[in-house]
Amino acid sequence: MDTGSRLAWFSVALNLGLVFLKYGLAAYSGSLALRADAVHSIADVISSASILAGINIAHRQSKLFPYGLYKVENFVALLTVGLLAAAAYEIVQGVLAPPVQIQPGRLPLAMSGVVLIVFITWAFSRYELRRGQTLGSPSLVADARHIASDMFAALIILSGLIGGYLRLDFPLDRAVALIIVALIAWAGFKIAVDAIRVLLDASLDFPTLNAIREIIEKDPRVGKINALMGRNSGSFKFIEANLALKIKDFQKAHQVASHLESQIKSQIPHVDRVLIHYEPLARDRIIHALPLTEDQQSLSEHFGEAPYFLLLITRVQDGSLLEEQVLANPFRHQESGRGIKVGEWLVGLGVDEVIVPKSFVHKGPYYVLADAGRDMHQTDLRAVAEIKAQLLSL
């Protein structure tokens, strides 16, 4: 049994216990308010049992419901709003009803019992609310707020009992009741809005979408996010993204999509499914990188130790040269891992392909560039002028 089911079972047991406790106190003290609240607790038992049923069937899948029944939780949460409204109505009726005569001699014990009820409902509602928010369960959150409303009702009853014990002329319990009704109405409104948003497939909240966007954009193999959407279903999230990747190979593109799916599921809580559509990034220019010798006229035989790198930016359509610049190698004098650092640096600069005089296959720079979807081409030419002429003739 998972945490959500255990909490729901405990909520059912708690509400059953409160029904018997309130009936016992009502019979002992003659308080009609306690008797009415006991009836209200029976509605709470029905509510908790409905939530338990919702949790147990929400994850089931079938041919008729291939995406599961997650939204049952939201539907149950919406039904709970009706019970909150009923609770508020009962309190309003108590405010408008004539005062009830009770037995003053038995009030101290009744008040002690109500204090116990307040403590129990306060402690459990806070615990269930925290666990429901952690689990992302809207029905548990709704149940916690419903139980909290019972605590407020018990406080009203307690104030009425105190007023009866002190024989106050001012109807303190009636004034407090109106405030409690407003709090219950606000809690019910929040539950209803959250449930309706999910049932109507409203978008995920912007902070969550932005967090997902940051995860995707950190991957250097992603060229552009064409579309990013998400929705809630019960306590779970469904994500869909359309990406343009800087990779032509289908197998590597699939690996990128799988990697991003794992990253999103590990960093964003309660994600059930991530669907990523991908396509090659449409480019209008290509950035070539060449390792240079000190005189900047020839290709360097080294990669990590090359003093300079020449960047040639050419137009894809006609191969014409748009821009060129020479950059000093910032990792030339690093003691170890120069090749890997230079590879990462070139990827960060947006380089599409690197032209080298010898093969670096199965070495650090090759893996860095290949993993980022960049190409590494070997050439027999050494003079930079000849390589430029060959590139511009393509």
Dihedral sign from CA coordinates of 209, 213, 216, 222: positive
CA 293 – CA 390 distance, rounded (Å): 19
Output the DSSP codes for 145-207. HHHHHHHHHHHHHHHHHHHHHHT-SS-HHHHHHHHHHHHHHHHHHHHHHHHHHHHTTPBPPHH
Residue 214 sits in the same domain as residue 79 = no
- The CATH number covering residue 228 comes to 3.30.70.1350
Predicted confidence band of residue 393 (pLDDT cuts 50, 70, 90): low
CA dist 68 to 54, 180, 271, 273, 302, Å? 12, 38, 14, 12, 57
Q: ∠ CA 70-72-75 to the nearest 5 degrees?
A: 130
| Cα torsion through 145, 90, 198, 204, rounded to 10 | -40
Assessment of whether the complete model's pTM goes beyond 0.75: no
Task: Decide: residue 41, CB within 10 A, 0-12 exposed, 13-18 middle, 19+ buried.
Answer: buried
Backbone angles phi, psi at 117, to 5 degrees: -65, -45
pLDDT band with cut points at 50, 70 and 90 for residue 126:
confident
For 146-200, what is each residue's pLDDT tens digit? 777 777 777 777 877 777 677 655 555 456 556 666 766 776 787 788 778 777 7
pLDDT for residue 146: 73
pLDDT, tens digit (0-9, with 9 covering 90-100), for 82-107: 876 776 777 677 667 665 555 667 77
Q: DSSP 3-state assignment of 381?
A: coil
323 and 193 together in one domain: no
Range of the domain at 40: 3-199
- Name the average pLDDT for the chain: 79
Cα 356 to Cα 378: distance, rounded to the nearest angstrom: 5
Q: How much is the pLDDT for 263?
A: 92
Supply the pLDDT for residue 46.
Answer: 63
Q: What is the pLDDT of residue 264?
A: 92
Q: How many domains does the chain have?
A: 3
Statement to judge: residues 103 and 186 lie in one domain: yes
Q: What tokens were used for 180? A: 């409690």
pLDDT over 90 percentage in the chain: 14
Q: What is the pLDDT of residues 103-114, one digit of tens each?
A: 667 778 888 888
CA distance 234 to 236: 6
Closest C-alpha to 124, from 13, 26, 23: 13
Distance of CA 179 to the CA centre of its chain: 33
Q: Are residues 386 and 337 in the same domain?
A: yes
Last residue of a domain, one of 152, 183, 199: 199
Task: Provide the pLDDT confidence category of residue 299 given band limits of 50, 70 and 90.
Answer: very high
**Domain check: are 217 and 231 in the same one?**
yes
322-376 tens-digit pLDDT: 889 999 999 988 888 888 999 989 988 888 889 998 887 778 888 888 877 788 8
